[in-house]
Structure 1
């Protein structure tokens, strides 16, 4: 019988602000992560500091923000009014302290919870804030939320504004690394939404004069079928076009916050767009055909927005403001007026748009028969589908742990077997390929239904009609790091970029990094992912170390494999980089074997791993 534990007042413990944030960081910044995903905690910390600078800009104070990141330390300097000198310590160390509770000063601000910079402070091994205003300066320094230095107010000739320096705590964010491409995407979004703002990041300038028009122009991976439609009013701005890509692609924002998971404003836009187009053409076109291949950005400003999580990635508000219209009415009225007017004034755009709708309708009807057959086959196979070992929690249905949901796409029975044996059956699923998948470059979507493997993969992910019902947050390519494994990765990335580009663009696709070496002695074992890590491990063991080179996933035992897909899992995100369009890259690397490609290979002698980097970085 268990010993009874006495329950008295002594058992009740009240945590102070920093202890609570450090013990439950997820409540304040979402997931932690190591920086391999765009929504990992280290980027949320940066965003919380930047949001304060942006709010100053919106209020007409300071047009430039300077950001630098070096050796894991972040510096952010704005030229706003500067934090009131007597409150420098309070604003970063007392919960519910801030200037944004005065709704006159910050009418449509994002950072309304008074927690942002306090969380950054508590979760940083080093944190410094410096305020300059009224020809005076004051600074304070902290470590993990503990005050180290409370400086005096001193005379200063520095320009007014606030400077924050912080280093995320490695105890909280184990093995983290800032990915430049994620930071650049965040900063570009800030300048698109704040025309006239300049952000300098490690010396590079970010600036936009045309807002969401620039966002679409810069982010489209294909040529638009007609010039971008750019419409705006005081509290709403949209940019719309269509490309020849598959799927629907949206960039949505609320009060400057990038709502990566959409929400009521994005849904209202999708509905209102269909309604407006039907009314304009006076045709009851299918909604799927109207929205097929759309690329759109929508930004709204609302009073007191309600988000579905602390990280504010999905809007939950149904109203624009306490006394305002519903989100659906607000967006619908705007599009009905401005989009309808635009199409009447630009008949050539209206014609191009109608051609695209009719083309999508023809393609959908052509595919109808084969889709029906493919769905029937998939349904029959799903009852005894040996390819998919599913998990219990799913991204589109469950709230708890849904962010962790992962589908590993593996090749070969031994690798699939190892992952299947040691995976977390609640949130980790495995899809097994048989050999190399088909090179889908240049093929139509018909192949997705005709090819059994592609059809089953599409069904497993549940992405046939878009990402809204995606079943796994992370789609991880788990193949060997040899030439064959690299080729399989390229073929799968080609498949996703061809038919489901929004899966890649929304940061769901990654490559599983597995160790190249195991270095151990009788007491310690190190798994090393590079030559440098191997040399470091050998030096740490000092004596005679046993070194094993892993050639493939299949030769890593299940007991060892659990170390690589658990808390310390290393993922390399697949990110579409700058430069050539996706179509140009795919055509060069995955298209017909042209003399230019042969010449390029001979001149560069790159292995496929380098080609993979060119394709996705």
Structure 2
């Protein structure tokens, strides 16, 4: 018996160096999968964006190589990599080998970056640590600097060479790296990720060209993303010709604090919006980062637009008496809005920068939007009327839909209650109609076997006792006196297609009320089983033919023979299949058993042959011609005795091999 290790002072350890990222990438990148690998790309791209936004270079080039390595090149000032007297270390060490180091910590007073996307001092170092290799090339001060890293460690040393006279003024940074599969579970970043990110960055960084080079064999496919006027151009692109108000752009700057004892900082708000009932879009960006989960700007938008539009509706008497107030979804359904805000101090929800939590930014944006909307409604009365009308339409449509949903849910609940009172009916767990299946089985013994074999999550069971009434020969009063038939129709839930009459608890037919995606007939593979199956099909054809016509009815084929050779078993569903299997086993000792009734089968065999969606055989009952089907049903099961006798005399010889006699 193994001894347990003691938990003492020597049990505590810490990760050091590159292991802080390589062994826990999810802490830095939010995931150790593809999403984390993608975020590492964004970290490097962020540094290039910060340079361009400060006016250093107007072109950023991202190259996706066929070996899955990535390169980001900018035309900025070039990352400082030489000796740092103040820190007593090389700057390349601080930037690429030291977490929480960089030139963006004192943004409010820094001359380098006023509004920075890369604030945490993690990106370059963390991405380097998570790379199989990384090559860094920097051009600045008339020199070219080169670094090479492998798995988080410097290989060699900083290489420096003077640039030729023709390139003395060249500046910028180029970083080429291969994400490490020892760190990430997946590094196959698709081209669409790059296109999406670079388009979004072009939107919020007006006038900066983002160039994507995607290696295709020996050549590179190139795409450029550029919005000269930023979100003003983007909002017009989103709106197209379908907007019912003209796009507007609002800008302002505010200063404030998240809390009285916190430092004051600056926020720059830039918002563009219009209204369209065809293509609603709301996107928020902060310091160029797309806020997928919103946070403060999303909350401000909700508060401001609901307040302003609700006030307009009340002031202009648009609500009916006792009508409820609008909600944000009513506004959002016709709103196109893009906010592109910047602040000198930002509180991101986490390192992945998909949400911010600054209270001052929320308050400033809320107040600013309320002011702008109030002025806009006064100066644009026609547009205000259109907005108010559309929001009210959205609200009333939502309320009607919600009322209908609640009524339908209540109706379904009532039907489920009825179904639960049906004797011996066994329901399944899921309420998702698209997944629910009902097995109509032959007798109590089959019910017991199927109950042990089924997947209780989505397979329900309804037994029929003996041979049910021939519904083509019986009239409706007699049919609906049969508890077996009425119970079965209650369980199906769709009602009956019997014109002008309500029967017991059965409603008029409505396919939307069917509680199952499949109605499966499951009977023994003998003459009695075939007859019971035919009688059930006849009942469905008489009372709810739409189920057959629309393809909801299936037959579960059950095997006729069980063939065993050594420890392997084959199931044959016909004489031909049996013959084919025996032929393939010719010369071997085999045992052939006629399959037992459903109630005598082992649960494992029942699951494998009859109930497992992966291995069962279902035959969809879907007649090609309804008229021919009706004629055959009437001939074989109806009152035309002479016609049936004549048909058997002429065609009976075709089915002699199917007769079950011993």
- The structure-2 alpha-carbon separation of the partners of 1:455 and 1:364, relative to structure 1 and needing over 3 Å to count, comes to farther
1:23 aligns with 2:57: no
Aligned alpha-carbon RMSD (Å)? 3.5
Larger radius of gyration: 2
Match of 2:134 in 1: 127
Task: Judge conservation of contact 2:428–2:436 (CA < 8 Å) in 1.
Answer: no
Q: Output aligned runs, 1:355-434, within 5 Å.
A: 355-377=389-411, 386-387=429-430
1:69 aligns with 2:112: no
Task: Judge conservation of contact 1:67–1:75 (CA < 8 Å) in 2.
Answer: yes
Match of 1:565 in 2: none
Task: Judge conservation of contact 2:309–2:388 (CA < 8 Å) in 1.
Answer: no
Give the whole-Å Cα distance in 1 for the aligned partners of 2:383 and 2:370: 16
- The structure-2 alpha-carbon separation of the partners of 1:351 and 1:89, relative to structure 1 and needing over 3 Å to count, comes to same
Q: Kindly tell me the number of residue pairs found equivalent between the two proteins.
A: 399
1:212 aligns with one of 231, 241, 259: 231
Give the whole-Å Cα distance in 2 for the aligned partners of 1:413 and 1:214: 55
Task: Judge conservation of contact 1:238–1:296 (CA < 8 Å) in 2.
Answer: yes
Give the whole-Å Cα distance in 1 for the aligned partners of 2:179 and 2:438: 40
| 3-state SS of paired residue (2:359) | coil
Task: Judge conservation of contact 1:49–1:117 (CA < 8 Å) in 2.
Answer: yes
Task: Judge conservation of contact 2:438–2:516 (CA < 8 Å) in 1.
Answer: no
Task: Judge conservation of contact 2:428–2:459 (CA < 8 Å) in 1.
Answer: no
Match of 1:604 in 2: none
How much has 1:9 moved relative to structure 2?
A: 5.4
- The structure-2 alpha-carbon separation of the partners of 1:286 and 1:114, relative to structure 1 and needing over 3 Å to count, comes to same
- The structure-2 alpha-carbon separation of the partners of 1:388 and 1:114, relative to structure 1 and needing over 3 Å to count, comes to farther
Task: Judge conservation of contact 1:192–1:207 (CA < 8 Å) in 2.
Answer: yes
How much has 1:8 moved relative to structure 2?
A: 5.4
1:240 aligns with 2:273: yes
Match of 1:145 in 2: 152
Q: Output aligned runs, 1:268-347, within 5 Å.
A: 268-281=300-313, 282=315, 285-287=325-327, 288-320=329-361, 327-328=362-363, 330-347=364-381
| 3-state SS of paired residue (2:225) | strand
How much has 1:375 moved relative to structure 2?
A: 4.0
| 3-state SS of paired residue (1:301) | strand
TM-score by length of 2: 0.55
Task: Judge conservation of contact 1:88–1:131 (CA < 8 Å) in 2.
Answer: no
Match of 1:264 in 2: 296
| 3-state SS of paired residue (1:273) | helix
TM-score by length of 1: 0.58
Give the whole-Å Cα distance in 2 for the aligned partners of 1:268 and 1:374: 35
1:42 aligns with 2:37: yes
How much has 1:164 moved relative to structure 2?
A: 0.7
Give the whole-Å Cα distance in 2 for the aligned partners of 1:163 and 1:85: 13
Higher relative CO (CA 8 A, sep ≥ 6), structure 1 or 2?
1
How much has 1:231 moved relative to structure 2?
A: 2.1
How much has 1:111 moved relative to structure 2?
A: 1.7
- The structure-2 alpha-carbon separation of the partners of 1:115 and 1:455, relative to structure 1 and needing over 3 Å to count, comes to farther
Task: Judge conservation of contact 1:222–1:244 (CA < 8 Å) in 2.
Answer: no
2:121 aligns with one of 114, 123, 134: 114
1:193 aligns with 2:252: no
Unaligned runs of 5+ in 2: 83-90, 214-221, 254-267, 320-324, 421-426, 440-456, 461-510, 518-611, 617-662
Give the whole-Å Cα distance in 2 for the aligned partners of 1:219 and 1:413: 47
- The structure-2 alpha-carbon separation of the partners of 1:52 and 1:410, relative to structure 1 and needing over 3 Å to count, comes to farther
| 3-state SS of paired residue (1:68) | strand
